[in-house]
Chains A and B, each alone.
Chain A
Amino acid sequence: MEVLEGTSVKTLAVVEGSSCGGCNPVLYLEALEGLLEGYRVLLWKAAGLRDADASEELDLLLILGSFNSEGRERLKELAERSKEVVVVGTCATSGGIRGLSVFLGRRVFPATELVRNSLFEEVPGCPPEPELVRYAIEGTLSEKGVSREPVCSECKRERRAFRIYSIKKYYEAEPSERACFLSLGVVCLGPVTVKGCGASCPKAGQPCRGCYGPLPGLYSAPLRMISSVLSATLPSRLEEVTKELKDPFGTFWRFSAATEPVLRRKTS
């Protein structure tokens, strides 16, 4: 890559664990225009760059995806020699959708658990909005409030006091309806999910499915959500509503099963 004269050359590596590839910057290069030019890329397989013997120090490491036993050591080694680490996408920050394998007895490690000792910035999202990755590389992500507030803080749907009488499927809500999904009886994970997407799904008439991962600070975001839904349910309807909650694992733990403290088995 050409580097502008007079600028100091920094080094960059992009390493991908197990992911769908949707958070790989090759898919949103345009959003990083003017930023990547300042780096000499040592490793980024999707862009055709591999300097396998590179042992030089890295200025920036982007980590995508979740990991199993394969590749963990390599990842730790790369993170240790990098000055800054940016963890991109929900698979990397909290295990992502593949975390549902936990119910089949398979462990999934989000990158954040493996590089715990390195200084890092997290960009959640499945996939993350490309601008957020840009902010993270520039070091301005925390100013934008991602990781501290829920999706509801960005959602424009009308909030109102409500009780739940029955659970509706997402397709039973009227598309013209502008009220909060929860008040309509549709499970929406907005209250326990990290913001950053601009509440894009509720805007498009779909409830939040939690793709930005669980809001930090809650012991178990899914359990908190289940508790909230049932608390809002009319006591006489409780039994019925509990039955209507089909597939609670796939609904509430869709993107957070890998880091669910209640489910975690102790591993080395």
Chain B
Amino acid sequence: MKRIRTEVLRIQGEAVVEVWVDDALRVTDVRFVPGGFRGFESFCRGRVPEEMPFVSARICGVCAEAHYVASAKAVEELYGVSPSLQVERLRAVFHLLGFIRDHLTTLYLFSGPDLFPEFGNDSLEWLEKSGFKREFFESRRRIRRMLEVVSGRGFLGGAFVPGGWTKVLTPEALRELRRLSEEELAFCRRTLEFFGAKRAEETQFRGKFLCLKPGDVSEFFGDKVACFDERGRKVAEFKAERYAGYIKEKDSGEFVFSDGSVYAVGPFARTFFWEGTTSLGESNPSFVRAREVVVAAERLRVLLEELEGEQRRQLAPKRPVKREAVGVVEAPRGLLIHHYFVDENGLLSRVKIVTPTAQNAKAIEVTLRNRLKLGQKIDEKVLKDLERVVRSYDPCIPCMVHVIGVEGKRLISVKKV
């Protein structure tokens, strides 16, 4: 038995696909192995809860806005305050901007070379040859500017206070945001035109799909989770705070649905709500992402129209009023859950963060296994194909490997996802 490792390039963070082969190079097993543990759940214990949005945004610099907003929801629940509609809209704008930037990065820099290999194999060459470089860079600059206006910083910003948002928008700032959002929407539509032209190129995972039921403020906010089967039939709906009764984390660190079946989160899962789709049909992940970018940019425009400069703020008490709280959001890669427990001193005693990629790990592995046939001969082409399969899930390794038990044993078991 030999092990062949291939690094997955063009993803966030580092991961390898391990293929186990016999002496004749025939496949016996395949695994997806992330790298680089950091241990947020353990070192966040003992911290004050109100700092969590800032701290947890550092779990992942790529989907930082999603972590920030999910954490903000959990913290507000702990302190017994709720944001005004204006504040909620501002946060949705903040989240959507991060969402669009993230999906565009995935589409243009990571998936682009898979879908249109004629433009080159690496992100830099691809951007140059595809002719999108100027527009993509302009979009990036626009999003960065908008985030700066909304949150004070173009990257990993945030103006959260329990029950409010400290960045106040002037009428000029609002006008600028509206103008930029129009321009961004045009680019997003062009993105859909381009990526939408490519049809199915991946065998997708078939199983259960979980996502948030869209709320009033944004498609990506909500407080109920729905579970669909592959035909689009809703098999369960539950309040997000009750997630632990429906999602099980096995000792190995894998997440499965309560009945033991494998599930996936992310763009495909959200498809069921938006399109009323009953089948995944011919859709490919990049097409779904490109469509989501347009949905997000359209919602952004609507929210900015509804926003007014003034915001009211509810002052939070000095200490948490609850001992436990859950915050959820649809991150670019899927359902993200922050679950906090506080002790009698008002400090965090336990932090549980269920990230989309950690939930998808099992589905990635299943898809990899489906792709390979037992006994198949392995060569460079097959390995490249496996890399592509992993990439189609847009895995975020920093998110996935935030988990680390104080006990080293868990570290090893989680690694063997």
Contacts and interface: CB of A to CB of B under 8 A. Distances in A.
A164 B59 CA distance: 34
Interface string B95-138: 00000000001000110010000000111110110000000111
A247 B346 CA distance: 10
Contacts, number: 183
Nearest to B55: A97
A171 B315 contact: yes
B61 interface: yes
B39 A200 contact: no
B318 interface: yes
A204 B39 CA distance: 29
Q: Chain A contact residues (Cβ within 8 angstroms of B): what range?
A: 35 or more
B273 interface: no
Nearest to A67: B36
A175 B313 contact: yes
A172 B315 contact: yes
Interface stretch (A29-37, A79-87, A154-162): A29-37
Nearest to B152: A204
A66 B398 CA distance: 13
A98 B61 CA distance: 13
A104 B122 contact: no
Q: Among A44, A204, A250, find the residue whose CB has the most chain B CB atoms closer than 10 A.
A: A204
A49 B62 contact: no
Interface string B150-181: 01111111110111101110000000000000
Nearest to B12: A21
Nearest to A201: B152
A205 B109 contact: no
A204 B9 contact: no
Given A22-B62, A200-B153, A246-B346, A29 B36 contact: no
A24 B35 CA distance: 16
Contact of B50 (A27, A70, A97, A170): A170
Interface string A168-197: 011110010000000000000000000001
B25 interface: no
A20 B60 contact: yes
A153 interface: no
B378 interface: no
Interface in B42-74: 42-43, 46-48, 50-51, 54-55, 58-62, 64
Interface of B: 7, 9-14, 35-39, 42-43, 46-48, 50-51, 54-55, 58-62, 64, 105, 109-110, 113, 121-125, 127-128, 136-138, 140-141, 144, 148, 151-159, 161-164, 166-168, 313, 315-316, 318, 345-347, 396-398, 406
Interface of A: 1-2, 16-24, 26-30, 33, 36, 41, 44-50, 65, 70, 96-98, 100-101, 103-104, 106, 126-127, 129-130, 169-172, 175, 197, 200-201, 203-206, 209, 246-247, 249-251, 254
